[in-house]
Amino acid sequence: MEEFMQNRELSWLKFNQRVLEEASDESVPPLERFKFISIFTSNLDEFFMVRVGSLFDMMKSKKEFIDKKSGMTAKEQLDAIYKTMPYYYEMRDKVYKDVIKELEKYNMHNKNMKSLNEEELSYVKSFYLSKIEPLISAQIVDAAHPLPFLENKKLYIVTEMWDADGNIAHGLVAISDIFERYLSLPGDEFNYIRVEKVIEHYVPTMFPGYTIKEQSLVAVTRNFDFETNTDIEEEIDDYKDFMKKVIKKRTRQEVLRLEISNTKSRSITDFLKEELAITDEMILVTKSPINMKYVYGLEDIIPSSVIKKVSYEDFNPFKKYSLERGSIIKRIEEKDLLLSYPYDDIDTFLDLIKEAAESDKTISIKITIYRLAKHSKLVEYLKKACDNGIEVTALMELKARFDEENNINYSEELFKAGCNIMYGFEEYKTHSKLCLITYKDDRENIKHITQIGTGNYNENTSKIYTDFSLMTANEEIGLDANDFFRNMSLAKLNGKYLHLLQSPSTLKARLLKEMDKEIAKGKDGYIRCKMNSLTDYEFLEKFAEASQNSVTVDLIIRGICCIVPNVKGFTENVHVSSIVGRFLEHPRVYQFGRGSEMRIYISSADLMTRNTEKRVEIACPVYDEEARARLVSYLDIQLKDNTKRRILLNSGDYIKPGVEGEALIAQDYFMQKANEKREKFYEGLERDKIDEAPKENFFAKIKKIFTK
C-alpha cells in the first residue's frame, strides 16, 4: 500500500457520482439530465457485471488477492462497494424525482395507473388486453414449481399472496423484453407510462383464487466477467465458435445484486434472499426505474418545438474536408490531417476509405476493428473495396465487451465479401485503432496513408465521444504500420518500430523513458497526460517520482484515478482534473516537455496495466506543427474549464475550481470554434461565387437598359 495511491473501484464510483451530479445540475436541459441518470444507471450495471464480478471471482479463489494500491483484499473491496450503494441509490432517487418534476413544466408527465384520465385509462386497458396479456408469463412458486432462472437485468414482478385456505404463496411474473418500455398516451400533452407499471396493475388478475398481499418489481445483476482460457477452449477449433459459447456461458453466472422497487415487505426480500443465495447488502431498494434505457426513446413523442427547450442545442460537426470535395488522399499527401471528434466529422475518414475503395490505384486496406456502429458505413466501404479487387484485411477483436455478437456478425459479413479476417489474441485484446492504405501514385511508386485514432471506427459514438484521428502520408509511419499488420498476421506481439509504440512490447517502456527525460530537467520539466483511467503501478510511481523532482505534472483523467495528488512528500506537484459534460471525454494524449522540445503522442491506450501489458495498443508521435499546436491548445482549454472541470483532492473527493473571469466550458468552446469555422468556410464559398461571376462590360450594361 502506498500513501499516494487509492483503490480503483472506489475511484470509479466517485467518477460515476460525477455523472449523477450532471443530472442534478439545473443549468443542464431537463431531458439531458434525464439521460445522465440513465448513463449513471447503465454505468453502474456494467460495474457490477464486470468489476464486482471480477472481485467475486477473486474472493472465491484459493489464492488471496490484495490490491497493491490500497492494501485491500477482494472481500474488503466488495464490503466497501456495497457499503456505498445505499448512498448512491438515494442520491439517484432524489435526482430522478427532481428531473421528473422539471419535465412536467413542459407538459411531459410520467404517469401511473391511478393518475390516468378516462381516455388514457381506456387506451392503456385496450393495449394491455390486446398486446400484453396474451404474452404474459405468470407462475406460482412453491415446492412443485421452483423459482425459475432469473435472467440478468430482466424485470420481474414477485408477489406474496394468500390462497383460499389462508396459506402464503409466492408468484412470479416475467416482463418480456419484446414489450415496449413505455406507452405514449393519447391527448395534447406528451404523457407516457412505463409498461411495468401497467403490468403491475393487472397482476391480481393473473393469479385467480389468490389474494395479493404484497408485490415488488425486481431485477438481478449477474457476474458477466469471464476468462476466455476456460476448459471449453480445448473442445473447439474455431475461435469465433468458442466466443459464442463463452458469451452463452456467462449469462448464467451468480447473482451479485438484487434491485427491488420500494417495498415494505420483508417477506418478499427474505424469500428472494434465500432463493438466490444472497446477503442483505446485495439487496438494493430503488424508487427510480430499474431499467432506464427507455429515456432515449422519449424524444420520439416530443414535438421538435418542445425538444429544443428540454435538450441541448443542436450541434453538427464541421465537415471541412468533405465539403471541399476533391481527393482526400491528395490533401493528406500535402499535409497531415488531425480530426477532433465530435467537433470534426468522422465522414472525412470515411471519405478516405471510400476513395481508396473506389480507386484502381489502391493495393490494400488494412484495419483493426474493436467496436462498430450497428449500421456501419465503414463495413460497406470495405466490402466495396473487396468487390473492386482490393486486398482488405481486418483484425477483428471478438472480446470487445458487450459488442461480441456485433463483431462476430460483422466478421462473418466481411469474410463472405472476400475480406481477410484475423481475430484478436486469446490473452491479449486488440484495442488499437490503426488503418493503413497502400496504393500507387501517378508514377507507380508504392505509397502509404496511415490513420491512427484514440477512439473506435463508430459513426454513432463519434458524435458523442471526444476523440482524435490523425491521417498522415509519412512514409516511415506507413512502413511501421505495414510491419505491425505483418506481425499481427504472424501472432508476433513483440514488434518494435521506428515511430509507432505498441503494447505490450514498447509503449510502456517508451512513455516511462519520456518521463525520465522530464525528471532529469527538474523544475523545468513538464508532463501532461489526458486519458480515461490511470491504474498502472509503474506509472503511478513514476508520476510521484516526477513530483518529488519538482516536475509539474498535469493529469486530465475522466474516470478511474489511482494516484492521490498533493500528498506531502510524494505528489505535491501532481494536479488531477476530470471533465464530465455533454460529450464523453475519450482521447488519450501524452505530452512531455514544452515548446520546441515537446514530444506529444496520441494513443488508443490508457495508463492501465490491462492496456500497457495485456492489450495490443498503438501510440503515435505527432510531428505536424499545426496538429501539435491543436493538441496543445485542446489541453490548455480543458485546464481552463472552470465549469465542468473538477479538481481531485487528496481526500479522494472532487471539487469545482474557483471561477475567475467568465465561465468557460471547454466542450462549448470547441463547438463554438467549429461553428465559426463552418461560417467562415461558407462565407468564403459565397465570396468565390461572386468573384467567379462573369463581369458585364459597359456596352453590355447599356444594351440591357435599352432592351427592357
Residues annotated as part of the active site = 431
Residue 7 near residue 69 (C-beta atoms within 8 A): yes
Q: Are 507 and 612 in contact (CB under 8 A)?
A: yes
- The residues facing 168 across adjacent strands are 162
DSSP state for residue 143 in the 8-state scheme: S
The C-alpha atoms of residue 639 and residue 440 are separated, in whole angstroms, by 44
Give the three-class secondary structure for 30.
helix
Q: What does DSSP assign to residue 311?
A: S
Under DSSP, is residue 473 helix (H, G, I), strand (E, B) or coil?
coil
**How far, in Å, CA of 36 to CA of 44, rounded?**
12
Instruction: Name 386's Cβ contacts closer than 8 Å, sequence gap at least 6.
Output: 392, 414, 417, 418, 419
| Residue of 183, 175, 176, 184 lying closest to 261 (CA atoms) | 175
Please tell me the distance from the alpha carbon of residue 20 to that of residue 91, in angstroms, as a whole number.
Answer: 8
The amino acid at 19:
V
Q: Is 57 exposed, middle or buried, given 0-12, 13-18 or 19+ CB atoms closer than 10 A? A: middle
**Alpha carbons 337 and 215: distance in angstroms, whole number:** 59
Candidates 503, 455, 461; CA nearest to 614 is 503
Alpha-carbon torsion (150, 155, 161, 163), positive or negative:
negative
Who's near 138: CB < 8 A, 6+ residues apart? 171, 172, 173, 174, 203, 206, 207
Query: Considering only CA atoms, which of 43, 39, 45, 47 is closest in space to residue 77?
Result: 47
What is the SS3 assignment for 228-249? CCCHHHHHCCCHHHHHHHHHHH
| Closest alpha carbon to 438 in 392, 401, 470, 404 | 392
